[in-house]
Structures are given as C-alpha cells and as structure tokens.
Amino acid sequence: MRLDWPGIIDHYREFLPVLPHTRPVTLYEGGTPLVPLDRIPGLIGAKIVLYAKIEGQNPTGSFKDRGMTLAVTKAQERGAKALICASTGNTSASAAAYGARAGLKVYVVVPEGKIARGKMAQAVMHQSVVIQIKGLFDEALQVVRDISETHPVALVNSVNPDRLEGQKTVAFEICDVLGQGPHFHFLPVGNAGNITASWMGYREYKMAGKLRDLPRMVGVQAEGAAPIVRGHVIEKPETVASAIRIGNPASWQGAVKAASESKGEIIALSDEKILDAYRMLAKEEGIFCEPASAASLAGVIEYARNGHFSSGEIVVCTLTGHGLKDPETALSTPHSQISVPPGKEAVLRVLGFS
Ligand code: F0G
C-alpha cells in the first residue's frame, strides 16, 4: 500500500456520507493497482487497451473492504456492539477483520461446506462466531436480515447502503488513474452490490465534473447461478465460482439499472469459460485471482469473440478477490508436479539437461 494512502474514507471523504469528526475504522483499503494486461488482448484477438483492477490487493483480499470500512465505521458511530452478515466467504472475512479492528463482536452466517478454505480461515482467525447453515447463501441472507430488524446487531451485507457507498470508490480510482472513464467495465455479479455501487460511483463522478463519458457496465453471472439473466430466482444455484453462487441477488434491480442505463448488459457464462479466464490470468499475466473474479475477464473474452469491441477501446475488468482464498480450485488445475529422488542428477533429467 502506498505510504500516502489513508484508506478510502479519508481519501474520498467529500463523496461519502461521513461527518467531519468521523474517525474511520480502516485497514488502509483501496488504492489498489490498475494493472495493464499486455498479453491477453493479443491472445483473444482484440485491439483493446485492457486493465485489471486488482481488488484482491485489499487488506482482506477482496473488494468487500471498501464497503466494510464505511459500514463498520458508521455502525460504530451509531453505537453498535455487534455486527452480523451472511456470506459466500468474502463479506464474512472482511466483516470479521474490520469488526476485530473496531472491537465489535461479529457473527457470520454461511452456507455449510460452500465456503472456500482461505475465507473460512479468515473468519476463524479474526475470532468471529461462524454459524454454518444447511442451506444456501440466499437463505442465510434472509435470516440475518430478519434478525437485524429485531435485535441489536448491525447488518453489514450490501443491503446496508453504507456498503455500497464505500464500494463505489472503485470507480473513482479507475477514473483518477486513467484520467477518463473506460469504455467498458466488466465485473462478476453475485448479490449484485458491486455492479450497483460501481455504476453509482461513475455517475457521481460525472455529476461532480470529474468524468465526461460513462462506461458501459457488463455484469457476468455463472450459467448455473444466473437469476438476472434468466429473469427468475434460481432455487439451487450451482457454480465452481462459489463466491457468486447466489440465486436471488439482493441488489437485483440495481444491477438491471446499471446495465440498462449504461447500455451494457448482464450475461451468463459457463464455469468452463470462467475457469479458462482464471487460468489465463495466472499463466499469461502473473495474476492470481479467485474463480468468481475471473468471470469479468471471461466476459471480455466473450465480447472479443463476438466482435463487440472497437479498436483502441479502454476496457477494465474488476478482479474482485485474491486467488489464495480458494486453494482447492487452484490445485485442481492440471499442472506438472514431478517427484524425484534427492540429488542433482534427477533434477537435471527433468530439465532435459542429461
Ligand atoms: N467476486 C467475489 C470474489 C465475491 O466474493 C463476490 C460476492 C462477487 C464477486 C460478487 O459481488 O455480490 O456484489 O455482486 N461475494 C459476497 C460475499 C456475496 O458474501 O462475500 P456482488
């Protein structure tokens, strides 16, 4: 993290719902790199200028920290003693960390057996109370919404408007770095908070005179968990991209609005295409994101294949979370791991030198 970077609340104070005396609960989130992807455009036959916004470089390894710093700051300001959230893993990791930072109790409700191991390790390590339900994320979200309405626990899912306010700062950073808006912004869609917040950020920057042209927003769902694309709730969502295994997104309307207002769209792609993009980023660009994150690049590849880009267009994809969060999926990638006896000779043989 840059030495002069104070975290998103202090950096973008004038755009956020905070008071002059608000003291941020921060882990110095945001200020993530916008990395040019130099090799991929050539490989996919697109004459575009492609960037990845590496949100996995946030303190807990995902974009959730942008919204969480604000949600926890505000919850503390209002006197909350405990936080609660439902999660596919990243929100809970972030809530657990920021709750610990603020000295608050944290309860996380997650679908049993469906959370990537690294994310579970984070919730455990920060000493949140992990409640696994034998059900889906969507059911977990309903439970925590109900409880927070009647009990003194602050809900920090993205149905809390402070979360979206914080998350919108990703759009500010992209514009600040590029000196303009991208032509397209691709991102994965699960509960749909991030696309809603990113679009809000672009619109606010335009209104503030800091951006001339708005990007087209393209949200990517996994085929087995694509309620917005199908136009109905998916009862049993299924995808390898566990972070976006969601059948009834809370910000459904926000995502539809972002897509239609920006002349973009929400598309669904197969797990195979998402995993191809996941592996391409790691192999060709040295960037290790989690599977759900790669849905954004899978969208770019799909657009390139269908000839949807014009030459020279600037395209940004959000890589929402770090690859280390999900070691199982990473290790299921075909790779060479060769076991040899100790000593130089055997290694040289593998290298082809003897
Ligand atoms: N990518 C990652 C890595 C995520 O963790 C999520 C959502 C998304 C994309 C989709 O973002 O929900 O704003 O559309 N994760 C939530 C969680 C649901 O509980 O961590 P969204």
Chain Cα centroid distance, residue 354? 47
Give the pLDDT band (50/70/90) at residue 337: confident
155, 202, 169: which is closest to 16 by C-alpha?
A: 169
Please give the number of the atom of ligand 1 that sits closest to the Cα of 188. 9
Q: pLDDT tens digits for 79-123?
A: 999 999 999 999 999 999 999 999 999 999 999 999 999 999 999
Ligand 1 centroid from CA 126, angstroms: 20
Report the pLDDT value the prediction gives residue 354, as an integer from 0 to 100: 84
Report the pLDDT value the prediction gives residue 4, as an integer from 0 to 100: 87
Residues with CB under 6 A from ligand 1: 62, 64, 87-91, 158, 188-194, 243-244, 290, 292-293, 320-321
Query: From CA 41, how far away is CA 293, in angstroms rounded?
Result: 18
Q: pLDDT tens digits for 119-165?
A: 999 999 999 999 999 999 999 999 999 999 999 999 999 999 999 99
Give the pLDDT band (50/70/90) at residue 2: low
263 pLDDT more than 90: yes
What is the rounded average pLDDT of the residues 245-251? 98
Q: pLDDT tens digits for 189-223?
A: 999 999 999 999 999 999 999 999 999 999 999 99
- Ligand 1 pocket, mutate which of 53, 54, 88 (most atoms under 8 A from CB): 88
Mean pLDDT of the residues in the chain: 97
Q: pLDDT tens digits for 54-74?
A: 999 999 999 999 999 999 999
Full 3-state SS string of 256-324: HHHHHHCCCEEEEECHHHHHHHHHHHHHHHCCCECHHHHHHHHHHHHHHHCCCCCCCCEEEEEECEEHH
Which residue, judged by its Cα, is nearest atom 4 of ligand 1? 243
1 pLDDT more than 90: no
Count of CB atoms within 10 A of residue 167's CB?
A: 28
